[in-house]
Amino acid sequence: MGLGGNNSAGWETLLETVPLACKALGKEKLLWWEYGNEPDLFSTSAQGPVRPPSWNEATYYCPGLTSNSTYGYLAPSFAGLNNHLKPVKAFQSGLDADKDIKIISSHNYIGGATQPGVTLQGTLMNHTVTAKSVDAQAQLQKNLSYLGLPFILGETNSLYNQGKPGLSNAFGAALWGIDFNLYCASVGIRRVHMHMGTNYRYQSWQPVQTNITTLGTKPPYYGHVAVAAMMGNLKKEKTRIANIKLDTDTEAAYAAYSNDKLSRVAIINLRQYNYTVNGTSSVLNPVKRPSREYTLNVPADSGKAA
């Protein structure tokens, strides 16, 4: 909705952009409007505040929104759960008073690209860290369940600010993506939108050649393929994902039940291994890649395990 463009230039940009977006989408392709992108940062953003310090949940809500069967909104799309504006308080302040919010959207990142101490093994390839991050979103979903609205992660990926080189674009990030998305499914988050953009480090593919990034698929893409295989054909079968609790940070396991019958199992070994010395050298790592054998005990009437 362009809520961040709180000036005449922002308004003109909105007026000029909407016709282009509508033309590109065509008829019947626009589902709902997003009621502001990360408005919880509008008064505190490091990129420059666009709202005064008095900006709060009540002033964020606009009772003058057009509301009928044609229009609906995705909200609140907050950047986090503990920023200046709080999701639960936003709804308590009247956000859905007109019953025009169709989907509850929340944003989630495991950490930041420039945050001190962020590492591939300790931050992304760490099931405990991932589960803790997603559990907070699952709790928000539970807290807002009285609204009877679907809850999704409308924007998410590994590390905010487009990802970190050597982490978000490494194959370890593909393993993180498998763990993250399957864990989301296991706690009932029904949809996840992975944030991407041209030249972004955490992108799944680069659609054009640039002087920064080569055209083609990137490591996170292969993680998404694995998740899709685990979920199965959702048009033909009802799939339920269950998290199998393990004792270490560096392993994760999930079971997929199709029509209440065990059909697939995924085991993710999150132990970091660099194919080359330090992961940046052209010299091959002299240390052999370690391996581990897993044994599964499954019911005799289960489907094929993979």
- CA-CA distance, 251 to 126, in Å (whole number)? 8
User: pLDDT tens digit string along 176-226?
Assistant: 999 999 999 999 999 999 999 999 999 999 999 999 999 999 999 999 999
> What's the predicted TM-score (pTM) here?
0.93
pLDDT (0 to 100) of residue 276: 87
- Which residue among 28, 57, 237, 251 is the active-site one? 57
Average pLDDT, the chain: 92
Q: Are strands 205-206 and 216-217 parallel, antiparallel or unpaired?
A: antiparallel
d(CA 60, CA 26): 30
List 34, 155, 251, 293, catalytic entry: 155
155 assigned to active site: yes
| Inter-residue contact 87 to 144 (CB < 8 Å) | yes
Residue 306 clears pLDDT 50, i.e. is over it: no
Q: Can you say how many angstroms the Cα of residue 231 is from the centroid of all Cα atoms in its chain?
A: 17
Distance in angstroms (rounded) separating the CA atoms of residues 297 and 295: 7
What is the Cα–Cα distance from 292 to 232, expressed in whole angstroms? 26
Mean pLDDT to the nearest integer, 283-287: 92
Model confidence at 280: pLDDT above 60? yes
The neighbour count for residue 288, using CB atoms within 10 Å, is 7
Sort 50 into a burial class: Cβ within 10 Å, 0-12 / 13-18 / 19+: middle
Cis peptide before 219 (omega within 30 of 0): no
Give the residue-averaged pLDDT of 100-105: 95
Q: How confident is the model at residue 303 (pLDDT cuts 50, 70, 90)?
A: low
Region of 281 (left: φ > 0; alpha: ψ -120 to 50; beta: rest) is: beta
Cβ pair 216, 209 in contact under 8 A = no
Handedness of CA 58, 63, 64, 67 (dihedral sign): positive
Is 186 within 8 Å of 243 (Cβ atoms)? yes
Beta bridge pairs of residue 256: 241, 264
Tokens of residue 26, six digits:
């065509």
Q: Hey, CA dihedral for 197, 202, 204, 210, is it positive or negative?
A: positive
Write the pLDDT tens digit of every residue in 233-270: 999 999 999 999 999 999 999 999 998 899 999 999 99
Over 50: is that where the pLDDT of 174 sits?
Answer: yes
Structure tokens at 137: 């979103």
Confirm whether 57 is a catalytic residue.
Answer: yes
Top-tier CATH class for 8-233: alpha beta
Digit-coded pLDDT (tens) for 1-21 = 667 777 888 889 889 998 998
pLDDT of residue 194: 98
Instruction: Write the secondary structure of 107-152 as one string of H (helix), E (strand) and C (coil).
Output: EEEEEECCCCCCCHHHHHCCHHHHHHHHHHHHHHHHHCHHHCCCEE
Q: How far apart are CA 179 and CA 294, in angstroms?
A: 17
pLDDT tens by residue, 36-85: 999 999 999 988 888 999 999 998 887 666 666 678 899 999 999 999 99
287/30: higher pLDDT: 287
Max CA pair span of the chain: 67
Q: Which of 195, 199, 202, 154 is nearest to 176 (CA)?
A: 202
